[in-house]
Chain A
Amino acid sequence: MSKQLAFYVDSQKCIGCFSCAMACKNMYHPEPGVKWRQVYPLSEDIYPHHERAFYSLACNHCEHPTCLECCPVGAYTKREDGIVVHDQDKCIGCGNCVRSCPYGAPQYNPKLKKAEKCSMCWERIDAKLEPACVQACPVKALRIIDLSEFDDAEALHYPPGFPRFESLNPSVRFKLPRHPHVVRRNG
């Protein structure tokens, strides 16, 4: 497999503090309501505990990105390291990528009338820095991994609550949240 950078989302560590999403906002100043990264709480059907658990998600820089395929003007490209980049100069704001991505990653910027999405901070990656979200996480629940070298048998690709699209092969891996230790009183 050729190089494919990916987010590793450790739900065991994540405390749902939104620092990653805030760091992304601070970095790119998207319009109000436009979110490149979102922190999704897991529903009680999936995580039935008083404590909550979260997935911090952004674009998954898929191996076969539907955004890249469906864009009628070819505004998306996939870099050699696997990062899927959106070129706003080419975008005509047709909204097709926004409608098509099953992970809701491309967002419509109502001011610019164009789409935009997480770029995995490729400029920072090229400068050997971590993406803003990864750097900001206080509990190290987000990491960048290279799937061509990643070898963790316990990492999940499609945990409950995350849409399964094998044809896209989203570049993301998860660690499930730990179930709380329940102490029962006998008698």
Chain B
Amino acid sequence: MNDANYSLVLFTVLAQGSVGMIVTSYLCFRLAGRGEMPHVRREWIMAGVLLLAGLTASLFHIGHPFGAAAALTHGATSWLSREVIAVCLFGALTAYTIVAMRKSLPASLMLGTAILGVVSLVVSGAAYAPPSLPALNNASPIALFLLTAASIGLASKSFFGPKDDDGFVAQWLIFVLIASIAVRIILPSVWSSGGAVMMKTGQAWFASPVFWLHIVLLAAPIPFLQKSKALKPWMFVAVLAAELLGRLTFFVGTAATYQNIGHLF
């Protein structure tokens, strides 16, 4: 068991949620084939606010937050530096796009921001895959972060119109929620059959009530979405809470190699 790093839980989930909202908003805007839509700018402002809240939360895990700018300086080898750089660039481009949206929707700028958001998410996944955590020292953080972004992004559509998009978004949300649950059950199952440290991680995740609560909250919207294809605000709240609890398990329940020194690996 590790310390609950609430500031990193908030930062990662909110930043990924923000990427998910921007990608979902862009895809709905393109796929629905409509021109000017007033809700799009509102969505992007909301995503920007989420990112800002995440970035602010991230400062609280640093012992000396006023030195945070120095974290931009070691991008040559540090994935954490690269993450900070990518997230800041994504935030700056989001802000610029929101300003540019006052006149009309700048499709290519929106696409560029969405792509940069996904890149920041992948970089962030690499930053949370250190050698000390064998269960996560692979592509699983990236997969988990992508799923977080997709589920929060799609669920956020419950707050923004137009309602015509609901059926299409609901179908995707059902798919993403089922995939999220499957991945979150499969990963600890695989770890449970691995080496000693991976096994401890799998067992700790499965033994945690917080982990199971997050699975229940992820599953909760599925039957309602299947029945009515209508997105409701409570679904966003359930998905956000599920992702926060899931991330808490990610930080608290993942065993490190150094906790096993002196024992068989």
Contact = CB atoms under 8 A, between A and B. Distances in A.
A25 interface: no
B84 A163 contact: no
A70 B81 CA distance: 8
Interface string B102-135: 0000000000000000000000000100111100
Q: Secondary structure of the B side of the interface?
A: loop
Interface string B60-73: 01111101101111
Interface residues of B, number: 33
Contacts of B61: 94-95
Contacts, number: 119
A95 B68 CA distance: 12
Given A72-B80, A112-B63, A102 B257 contact: yes
Interface in A79-96: 90-96
Contact of A161 (B63, B131, B263): B263
Q: How large is the interface on A (under 10, 10 to 19, 20 to 34, 35 or more residues)?
A: 35 or more
B264 A45 contact: yes
B68 A43 contact: no
A160 B261 CA distance: 9
Given A43-B262, A45-B264, A94-B63, A70 B78 contact: yes
A101 interface: yes
B257 to A, nearest CB: 4
A45 B257 CA distance: 17
A73 B61 CA distance: 15
A103 B262 CA distance: 11
A46 B80 CA distance: 36
B80 A55 contact: no
Given A70-B80, A100-B131, A163-B258, 9 more contacts: A40-B262, A55-B262, A71-B78, A72-B72, A73-B70, A101-B258, A102-B130, A113-B63, A167-B131
